[in-house]
Amino acid sequence: MNFFEMIFTGQNIALLGAGLAVMLAGIGSARGVAMVGEAAAGLLTEDPSKSGKALILQALPGTQGIYGLITAFLIVFKIGLLGTPVELTVSQGIYFLMAALPIAIVGYYSAIKQAKVAVSGIHLIAKRPDEVGKAITAAALVETYAIFAVLISMLLVLFAKV
Amino acid sequence: MSVSTMKRLTVIATLNDADAILHRLMKLRAVSLEQAPADDRETLDHYAPLANVSEASARVARVEGVIPVLAKHSRQRKKFFAPQAPISPEAFRTNGRFDTAWKVVEETDKILTRQAELRGERENVLSRMRAYRPYLNLEFPLDFTGTETTRYFVGSLPGGLRPERIENALTDIAATVHLLGTDGTGVYIAVIAHRKEEDAALRALSGLGFLRAPLPTEHKTVKQLLDGAQKECDAIEEALARLETRLTVLSEKLEEVEILSDIERTALIAEENKQKLSMTDQCVILTGWCPASQEPRITTVLSDFCTAFEFAEPKEGDDVPILLRNNGFAKSFEWVLGMYAYPKYGTFDPTFIMSIFYFLIFGLMFADAGYGLTLMVACFGAVRWLHPRESMKRFLLMFGYCGISCTIFGILFGSYFGNFPLAFMENVMGIPADALPNLSLLPAEAANVAILFDPIQNPMAFLGISLGMGALHLIAGMGVKAFVLCRQGKVIDALFDIVTYWILFAGIGMLFVSRTVGIVLTVVGVASVLLTQGRQKKGIPGKIAGGFLGLYNLIGYASDLLSYCRVLALGLAASVIGQVVNILATLKGATFAGILLMLIVFTVGHLLNLVINILGTFVHTSRLQYIEFFNKFYEEGGTPFKPMAPADRYSKDITPAEGETTTEKDGQLKINFD
């Protein structure tokens, strides 16, 4: 067995998928939550009583990271790393890698885009605190696509034949 | 489940009665004022000067400014849901409590000013002490400048200067340097020079950066000076401590000051509302809105005065404030509606039908009996024992009801803190999960405790249920639209815009059950949409285009429906994280350490999952209402009815107003708006 075959086992390629789901979606969420957090801190210097509303908006772009985590966990379950490991062919490993890509990529991108909407939402509640519902809804609309992506990723993993 | 009928109230009263009428109406909590007509500037004048408002708000600011200070010194722990103190504002003003509370505010204010002064003084003394300290070794009194033949002076050189350099600089000069001390910033020296060499010595030292010491010329040594300053400092500290003690004593009156802040805020609200009145030489005119149900109470109040008043129906184009009227269950969901927008006056109030779907979708999205029960206990428990305010109570009740729904769906889909029963059985009790008989209705590949089926094992079936719920929701939305159209007498529109699509949907649905029926219904549906959707367009080409556009609407309905697959996604997300927590919690099996680990990981992990998912489920259930459901029929844009009322942040007026009944239970006042 040469070096290349030792590294690129089906198992490892599947793990690469799980890792990408956690990493990319997580990086996106981290950036997003940080962006909203900065804006929220600015708002709170003016009016600390809005912290509850600001916190909800800040938490919104955090969900993509959770979706990435869930996908990764499902892959780890499915390939038996927490119980008896399943022997995977290279093509099966690539299947898991592919299955992880929707949430990895859409999660990264949508978290940042959602954060931009949430930052605008922070500016909105600075002036009109009663309109927090609209600010949250506007940000939640962006999340729809992360939800579609994680749904496909999860279904692909759940229906994988191993 | 409707928008209350509102009446426009116009009152003309004598000038003398105006304040009293306003006061009594405020107590009713049933009228919101509007700016009185100001079109006729020559005869109508503002009732109250604007300066009154700023004066009242300055008083409020003063009282509210000392509350945090007193709260910080108060020995009582501040409760999260502090109960409102029952008071009678009239008695509070007359029996001296008002004056006592104001005295507390004034004294606290004075103490705060004095504290700021003292802190400033202390800073001065401390900086003086910092300047003296390096010269502590100086033993001569500070007014000593030399003898008959010598000059004596002290000062500092820049830090890090080597002693040799000083000596080198002073060679050939009859002067001697005595090193007093060094620190990071300076080298401190005393110099004795011959009178004739004084200038030369100073010049040489200046070259090195010599600065005379900033010491007063008194007949005291530095040590005495420092001791004196220290005494001053101690005295200031003592004074500050005395003030702190006094604040602690004053903080026992915190509750009185809080009540006072309500009283002053009530006065401010009254002043703000007086701005909306107009007057002539003798009379004052007041206009506003009230629920029609409140007419008798308002009439009782106004009849006590010499007034002319009328309750009029709203006119076209009036901005009528909205008061929603719902049963207890739906009332708890009004704030969800309020986060979006209130309905326009005279349109349909969707709170009740929304609350039912909110309940169902929330439960389906977060189907877990463990989390549901936790939510129920926490929310209903808080309402029962902590006596929160009305708005907080509605918030908690809403989540409590959603907890019931989560529990029901959790039992149906066999989720109790994720798969905790199975994980516990397998890893702690050592029973293989395969030993469980399959009790669920659908055939299952692996063990589960579901009544219907386990969504993780059978996600497609759960997706079907999610989309089915979505279809129901959308059809209900269209149904409301049909109902609204029929109520407006547009039965034809309801038939063509709603029922034709329903036939089409039924046809598509039936395709999966019976092909022939499905095909027939679909064709009839498509034909009726094509034929009716262009009916308002002019000309044959317009009508044909309209028909096809109507068919194109199907895409919109399909995308609305697919949006409901988030129910599956969020549901799976909650159970997968729950499973992970359970795996970690039961990792060490049935040992003592294992059980301890289980308790900690279980509590922390599931609490975290609960919080994350409540937020996600709340946001996305709301979104399904706002975007998918409301766009079928909702006419938003009303402003909520906010009657003028006394401030009740800390206290509650328990003297009954007209038409109020005091309920036995916790002595709370209930206003019957029905």
Confidence of residue B659 (pLDDT cuts 50, 70, 90): low
Asked if residue B520 belongs to a domain, the reply is no
CB spacing of B616 vs A141 below 8 angstroms: no
B181 vs A20, which has greater pLDDT?
A20
Asked if residue B491 belongs to a domain, the reply is no
Residues B457 and B569 in one domain: yes
Residues B454 and B360 in one domain: yes
Domain of B151, CATH number, reads: 3.30.70.2750
pLDDT at B284 over 60: yes
- pLDDT, tens digit, for every residue of A63-121? 999 899 989 988 988 888 877 788 889 999 999 999 999 999 999 999 999 999 999 99
- Residue B16: how many other CB atoms lie within 10 Å: 11
pLDDT value at residue B417: 94
Confidence of residue B328 (pLDDT cuts 50, 70, 90): confident
Q: Rounded to an integer, what distance in angstroms lies between the CA atom of residue B90 and that of residue B655?
A: 9
pLDDT value at residue B1: 58
Return the structure tokens found at B197. Answer: 């060499």
Mean pLDDT, range B359-388, rounded to an integer: 94
Domain boundary among B214, B240, B261: B214
Contact B178, B167 (CB under 8 A): no
pLDDT at B133 over 70: yes
Return the structure tokens found at B225. Answer: 């000076």
- pLDDT, tens digit, for every residue of B16-60? 888 899 988 998 889 999 887 665 556 677 788 888 899 999 999
Mean pLDDT value across chain B: 87
Contact B87, B652 (CB under 8 A): yes
- pLDDT, tens digit, for every residue of B455-476? 888 888 999 999 999 999 999 9
Residues B70 and B209 in one domain: no
Using CB atoms, pick whichever of B340, B577, B583 lies closest to residue A70: B577
Residue indicated by tokens 């055939």: B443
pLDDT at B661 over 60: no
- Contact list, A70 vs chain B (CB under 8 Å): 572-573, 576-577
Closest residue in chain A to residue B627, using alpha carbons only: A137
CB spacing of B573 vs A60 below 8 angstroms: no
Closest residue in chain A to residue B567, using alpha carbons only: A147
Residues B358 and B457 in one domain: yes
pLDDT value at residue A118: 95
> Of A10-24, B291-305, B650-664, which one has max mean pLDDT?
A10-24
The domain of B182 spans 143-214
Asked if residue B484 belongs to a domain, the reply is no
- Contact list, A63 vs chain B (CB under 8 Å): 612, 616
Residues B292 and B331 in one domain: yes
Asked if residue B93 belongs to a domain, the reply is yes
- pLDDT, tens digit, for every residue of B81-95? 667 788 888 888 888
- Contact list, A134 vs chain B (CB under 8 Å): 339-340
Using CB atoms, pick whichever of A59, A132, A154 lies closest to residue B572: A154
Residues B450 and B390 in one domain: yes
Best to test chain B binding among A136, A145, A156, A157 (most B CBs inside 10 Å) = A136
Where are chain A's structural domains?
10-158
pLDDT value at residue A41: 93
pLDDT value at residue B119: 94
Q: Give the DSSP H or E segment for B186.
A: strand B186-194
Distance from CA of A3 to the nearest CA of B (A): 34
Mean pLDDT, range B213-236, rounded to an integer: 87
Q: Rounded to an integer, what distance in angstroms lies between the CA atom of residue A15 and that of residue A80?
A: 11
Asked if residue B504 belongs to a domain, the reply is no
CB spacing of B340 vs A134 below 8 angstroms: yes
Confidence of residue B666 (pLDDT cuts 50, 70, 90): very low
- Residue A67: how many other CB atoms lie within 10 Å: 33
CB spacing of B572 vs A134 below 8 angstroms: no
- B667: buried, middle or exposed (CB in 10 Å: 19+, 13-18, 0-12)? exposed
- The residues on B that touch A, with CB distances below 8 Å, are 338-340, 456, 459, 563, 565-566, 568-570, 572-573, 576-577, 579-580, 583, 612, 615-616, 619-620, 622-623, 626-627
Residues B244 and B297 in one domain: no
Q: Rounded to an integer, what distance in angstroms lies between the CA atom of residue B544 and that of residue B336?
A: 41
Closest by alpha carbon to B378, among B400, B357, B363?
B400
What is the ipTM, given to two decimal places? 0.79
Q: Rounded to an integer, what distance in angstroms lies between the CA atom of residue A13 and that of residue B664?
A: 69
- Contact list, A67 vs chain B (CB under 8 Å): 573
Distance from CA of A6 to the nearest CA of B (A): 30
Q: Rounded to an integer, what distance in angstroms lies between the CA atom of residue B224 and that of residue B244?
A: 30
Asked if residue B133 belongs to a domain, the reply is no
Q: Rounded to an integer, what distance in angstroms lies between the CA atom of residue B400 and that of residue B359?
A: 10
Q: CATH assignment of A10-158, given 3.90.1150.10, 3.90.1200.10, 1.20.120.610, 3.30.230.10?
A: 1.20.120.610
- The residues on A that touch B, with CB distances below 8 Å, are 56, 59-60, 63, 66-67, 69-70, 73-74, 77, 82, 132-134, 136-137, 140-141, 143-144, 147-148, 150-151, 154-155, 158
Half-sphere exposure of B420 toward its Cβ, with a 13 Å CA cutoff?
21
Distance from CA of B560 to the nearest CA of A (A): 12
pLDDT at B669 over 60: no
- Contact list, B563 vs chain A (CB under 8 Å): 144
Helix A132-158 to helix B592-623 angle, to the nearest 10 degrees?
120
* Burial state string for A124-161 with b = 16 or more CB within 10 A and e = fewer than 16: bbbeeeebbbbbbbbbbebbbbbbbbbbbbbbbbbebe
Residues B254 and B322 in one domain: no
pLDDT value at residue B38: 62
Residue indicated by tokens 């030993």: B435
CB spacing of A137 vs B612 below 8 angstroms: no
Distance from CA of A133 to the nearest CA of B (A): 4
Residues B657 and B584 in one domain: no
Confidence of residue B401 (pLDDT cuts 50, 70, 90): very high
pLDDT at B333 over 50: yes
Q: Rounded to an integer, what distance in angstroms lies between the CA atom of residue B192 and that of residue B194?
A: 7
Contact B324, B342 (CB under 8 A): yes
CB spacing of A133 vs B622 below 8 angstroms: yes
Mean pLDDT, range B192-218, rounded to an integer: 84
- Contact list, A69 vs chain B (CB under 8 Å): 577
Residues B71 and B43 in one domain: no
Asked if residue B503 belongs to a domain, the reply is no
Residues B104 and B232 in one domain: yes
Closest residue in chain B to residue A56, using alpha carbons only: B615
Residues of chain B with pLDDT > 90, as a percent, come to 39
| Length of chain B (residues) | 674
pLDDT value at residue B512: 85
Measure the CA dihedral B460/B462/B464/B469, to 10°: -160
CB spacing of A137 vs B626 below 8 angstroms: yes
pLDDT value at residue B41: 57
Residues B106 and B254 in one domain: yes
Confidence of residue B668 (pLDDT cuts 50, 70, 90): very low
Q: Provide the 3-class DSSP secondary structure of residue A161.
A: coil
Residue B317 — φ and ψ, nearest 5°? 90, -5
CB spacing of B572 vs A70 below 8 angstroms: yes
Q: Tell me, what amino acid is at B118? A: L
Asked if residue B379 belongs to a domain, the reply is yes
